[in-house]
Structure 1
Amino acid sequence: MISFPYKIKIKKFLSRIKLIKIYYLMGKGFLNDQHFLEVKKKSFQENSKRPFRSGIINYLLSLSQKPTFYLEIGVRNPDHNFNLINSTHKYSVDPGLEFEANPVDFKMTSDIFFKKLSNGEILSNSIKFDVIFIDGLHLAEQVDRDIMNSLKFIKDDGFIVLHDCNPPTEWHARESFRYRYTPAQHLWNGTTWKAFLKWRSSSLVKSCCIDSDWGVGILSKQQPIGEPTEFINHFFEYNSFNKNRKESLNLIDFENFKKLNI
């Protein structure tokens, strides 16, 4: 006969086995859920698209016959993009929150950088860039400010470039990067698409989005890359954006972009 203390231990052991089985079945069900698999598939498709942003930026810089000026906002590891850029003059801005080494020119936020630049405290307030690449905090409000500030320092025939404008699912477009327990897992585009969508309807710029590397958005004051569109998604709802994705972003593949008269 099994003594009472041993019965308690056996019951605890069996209850743990039951919990493990439940967790296993829940996890298995999640990993085999059709929605989860579809999001995973879209993540793979986006990761497979070429060229990367560095190739697109280098193409834009190559259009100039004069010495070029390039500014990158949000660098993190410079080997991922900044060091791959071919420009006569290159400048980088990053507060260093995500990459401890942070070997950039200006270790500060973009808001502080543009304020100092406007005041003539760094570089020159008359400087104009051929390309400004915005890849900092991926939240619409910040991206919107970065675009407004960049417009003051971009050449009339220059380009403002944004990364992560074409999130393939709502999970990729979540507002919080830290919440990773989603079908998109660690992959995150943030809400950059909202800021780009806002400027797509502005008469101040021409715009399009290269369907590669999670959506490389491009804005220009004068270059004929896409006329402003009527703004129909006033509440920035993802489902509405997804239904009208191509028109909303002026989505174009890179080979057709190179055929534009720029």
Structure 2
Amino acid sequence: MLSLIRSVRRQFREWAHRGHAEAHRFDIDWYAIPYNRIAIVNLLLSKQVEGRYLEIGCFWNALFDAVMARHKTGVDPVRGGTHRMPSDDYFRGHTGEKFHVVFIDGLHTYEQVRRDVVNSLKALEPGGWIALHDLHPRTWIEEHVPDISIGRTWTGDVWKVAFELATTPGLDFRLFKIDHGVGVVRKLANDVQLVDRQAELGPQRFRYFCDHYGELPIVNHEAGREWILGHLNNG
């Protein structure tokens, strides 16, 4: 274990010397905010008596077990949920299944989460919802890919897909400033294609997130709750 920590620390110094280190940080205590992803998912499902829920990345089942949906599917290659496989394999083998809400919290990399979003959009019922975890890194270490957090919070570069969701026609998107950043998006049209900004966003690091922060539709839990209820009450 000690050798592993030393190895990660050496990598940390290497990445810092390569110019990846960034002084800016967001001073947010997530545990001081009294709402998390569990509250959001249950609110999204609150109007669905026969709610169908899909979770990508279950592991400890902290969210999965707390979701009050009648029909729940959980996909994780290691543990938790109901299907032991990578999400790519699940979507490939279950093309006919439809869900009211999908929650994405698998691999913390832009490339994988982007594929999960594209596949989830196809699996959503009309007017369905996608929620995503870890869209708000606070430091360059939390954001860095590969992971150099040494067991601390690691969001990865999932934040990049938020800029695509925010600019895709047919989607209504908000980034909730709770629980490491929870993105919530409603599918407004049947055939929605996620805007492709991979060439622009792929090579970017934490500095881009900081510089373009104001372009994201960030809301606190109160404003976000009213936004969700507005959609739910209007069908």
1:242 to 196, 202, 210: 210
Q: Is 2:157 aligned against 1:180?
A: no
Following superposition, which runs of at least 4 residues in structure 1 exceed 3 angstroms of deviation? 35-39, 233-237
Normalising by structure 2, report the TM-score: 0.77
Alpha-carbon displacement from aligned partner over 1:108-161 (angstroms, at most 9, x marks no partner): 00000000002xxxxxx1x32111000000100000000000001112211100
Matches within 5 A, 1:115-194: 115-118=92-95, 125=96, 127-177=97-147, 179-180=148-149, 186-194=152-160
**How far does residue 190 in structure 1 lie from its aligned partner after superposition?**
0.5
Amino acid at match of 1:66: V
Output the aligned Cα RMSD.
Answer: 2.7
Normalising by structure 1, report the TM-score: 0.70
Amino acid at match of 2:32: S
- Max Rg structure: 1
Q: 1:95 to 1:251 in 2, by over 3 A?
A: same
Alpha-carbon displacement from aligned partner over 1:89-121 (angstroms, at most 9, x marks no partner): 11100000xxxxx24311000000000002xxx
**How far does residue 37 in structure 1 lie from its aligned partner after superposition?**
11
Q: 1:134 to 1:237 in 2, by over 3 A?
A: same
Gaps spanning 5+ residues in structure 2: where?
A: 1-20
Give the structure, 1 or 2, with the largest relative contact order (CA under 8 Å, sep 6 or more). Answer: 2
Report the number of matched residues: 201
- Give the percent of matched residue pairs that are identical in Structure 1 and Structure 2: 29
Q: Equivalent residue for 1:76? A: 59
Q: Equivalent residue for 2:184? A: 218
Alpha-carbon displacement from aligned partner over 1:20-66 (angstroms, at most 9, x marks no partner): xxxxxxxxxxxxxxx99985x836x123223111111111111x243
Q: Equivalent residue for 1:24? A: none
**How far does residue 240 in structure 1 lie from its aligned partner after superposition?**
3.2
* Cα distance in 2, alignment partners of residues 38 and 180 from structure 1: 17
Q: 1:50 to 1:197 in 2, by over 3 A?
A: farther
Q: Is 2:71 aligned against 1:89?
A: yes
* Cα distance in 2, alignment partners of residues 243 and 46 from structure 1: 22
**How far does residue 234 in structure 1 lie from its aligned partner after superposition?**
3.3
Local SS of the residue matching 2:142: coil
Q: 1:38 to 1:90 in 2, by over 3 A?
A: same
Amino acid at match of 2:212: N
Contact (CA 8 Å) 2:38, 2:67: kept in 1 or not? yes
Q: 1:169 to 1:59 in 2, by over 3 A?
A: same
